[in-house]
Every structure is written in C-alpha cells, then in structure tokens.
Amino acid sequence: MQFTKMHGIGNDYVFVDCFRQSLPEAPETLAPKISDRHFGVGGDGLILILPSDVADARMRIFNADGSEAEMCGNGVRCVAKYVYEHGIARKNPLNIETGRGVLTLHLEIKNDTVRTVTVDMGEPILEPPRVPVQLRGQAIVDHPLTVDDLTMAITCVSMGNPHCVIFVPRIEGDLVARIGPKLEKHPLFPNRTNVEFVEVLSQSEARMRVWERGSGETLACGTGACAVCVAGVLSRRLDRKVRVHLLGGDLEIEWKDNNHVFMTGPAEEVFTGVWPE
Ligand code: ZDP
C-alpha cells in the first residue's frame, strides 16, 4: 500500500490515497500499527483520502489509538494540498467532505505548490449535549472542575470534535501529561475529549499545548486552536482574531461575524513510501 507522510505544523499523519487503492485491513486496526513511531511509519494517526458524492474528496481521520474522529484541522489542510498537487481536483477553492459536513478550503499556491490553506471550519457548537459534555447550561464557560486536587475552569467547545479548554497563568511542568489524560477520559465527556491548556499573551495572541483524544500530546491541533479562539472570546480573554502559538508552529484563527471560524496555516508533504501488505 502506497502512503504519503504529511503534517500541519508538526501534527503529522500517514495519508492513504483511496482514490487509487484500497486498505489491506480495517483503518481502526491499521492506524495504531502504522502510527507507531518505532514499529511503524510514525504519526499522530491515519488519514484516508476518499472519493465523495458531495465534494471534491472525503477525509476520514483515525487517531493513533484507532478511534475515528469527526474532524481534523491540520489534517484537512494536508488533504487539500494532496488533492490539488496530485491532480485529484485542480481547483481553488476545494470542497472536502468531513465528519462534520462539507468544508470549503482556499489554497495559497506558489509555483504550483500549495503553501498555506484557509479553512472555513464552520460554526462552533456550544450546547452541552452536542459537545458532548454532561453539564447543564446554554454553554460551558469557565466551569470549575477539580482533577487531582487541582481546581480548573473549563470551557467546552465542539468543532465537530469535542474540546475542553483551560486557561492557565503558565503551562509548566507536567501539567499536560498529568492532567490531560485524566480529562480526556473524564466521565463528564461520554465521547472523551481533546484538552487544550492555554496561556493568554495578549488579546490577540495565545500559547497552547494540547493533549489529543486518542493520540496524547501532539505538536499542534487545528480544531483545538479554533476551540481556544472561541473559548477566549466567550470568556472575554481574547479577540475574535488571534494568532495561536503551538509547539509545532503558529495558526491564524478568526471567529467571524457570520459565526464561522476560519483557520489559516501551512501543510507539508514529507515523504512517500510503501507499507507491506
Ligand atoms: O478529535 C480528536 O479525536 C482529535 N484527536 C482528532 C485530530 C484533531 C487534529 N489534531 C486537528 O488538527 O484538529 C487533527
């Protein structure tokens, strides 16, 4: 099976072009094997690029533990780059079908190479039953929650996939590794959750680290950065247009007046290879 290794600011995935081939086994079992950084190719998960009846292509994303996610921000930018550069659809903008519907992606192309992509990520989802989070209210903003004797204020946002955002004075020590997995699997989140730890640098700038559902700490999370922007506006910490600094690089996020969240960032192809059948 041919694969392509790509990443969005260090959030790296193994991509399989399912227009041209089929998988040797179910993606839920292939993803952990191919994502293993010692015994496999290595990555935060597996992303399938498939034909679609309603868009130029369809994306399915499987985390490193084999769980399928509804949406993927860094990954969908890479899908758009692949679809354009490998001739599946030489269009700009592109439409990509995802677990949360069809998204529109605008490409920045130089010398026939896709450099950066702006994704209309759609509207944030705040109603607790739709995140889902088992708390009452119109939206969960700065809700106190104690884990491991640490009381935090959580803000819950779905971008198609669930996010638990926590603003802290400083992201230090083992906070991410200690608290991330406990919140990922906390009973409040029936589908588990991604967990973002955020330092506000100014009204228009934040630094974040992320513990991802099904993958652990990653260098970046696109849907997570969108959730951080929304949570920052709801809690009056951030403007609607922010630069988010992640371990792997920066993303520009804007929550526009039409209630859609836009994410702009790079997408890179690293290498191709053959996975033995
Ligand atoms: O929701 C989840 O289970 C995430 N781990 C999916 C991957 C999210 C991603 N890192 C992103 O950029 O949104 C790809």
Q: What is the pLDDT of residues 232-250, one digit of tens each?
A: 999 999 999 999 999 999 9
Q: Which of 72, 78, 164, 226 is catalytic?
A: 72
Q: Can you tell me the distance from the alpha carbon of 242 to that of 197, in angstroms, rounded to the nearest whole number?
A: 16
Q: What is the pLDDT of residue 148?
A: 87
End-to-end CA gap in the chain:
6
- Who contacts 262 (Cβ-Cβ below 8 Å, separation ≥6)? 118, 119, 120, 121, 253, 254, 255, 256
Q: Known catalytic residue: 164?
A: no
Pairwise CA distance, residues 223 & 7, whole Å: 14
DSSP state of 134: S
210 C-alpha vs ligand 1 centroid, how far in Å?
10
Q: Which domains does the chain have, with CATH numbers?
A: 2-122+265-274 (3.10.310.10), 128-259 (3.10.310.10)
Q: According to the model, what pLDDT value does residue 232 have?
A: 98
231: confidence class by pLDDT, cuts 50, 70, 90: very high
Residue 139: predicted pLDDT: 97
Task: Indicate if 18 belongs to the active site.
Answer: no
What's the 165 CA to ligand 1 centre distance in angstroms?
14
| 197-215 average pLDDT score | 98
Q: Which two tokens stand for residue 42?
A: 């290595």
Confidence of residue 272 (pLDDT cuts 50, 70, 90): very high
DSSP state of 67: P
Distances from the Cα of 162 to the Cα of 10, 43, 85, 124, 155, angstroms = 21, 21, 31, 10, 11
194 CB under 6 A from ligand 1? yes
Which ligand 1 atom sits nearest the alpha carbon of residue 222? 12
- pLDDT tens digits, one per residue of 54-73: 999 999 999 999 999 999 89
Any ligand 1 atom below 6 A from CB of 215: yes
What are the pLDDT digits (tens) for 70-85? 998 999 999 999 999 9
Mean pLDDT throughout 44-56?
A: 98
The verdict on the CB of residue 158 being under 6 Å from ligand 1 is no
Asked if 205 contacts 56 with a C-beta cutoff of 8 angstroms, the reply is no
pLDDT of residue 172: 86
Residue 229: pLDDT above 90?
yes
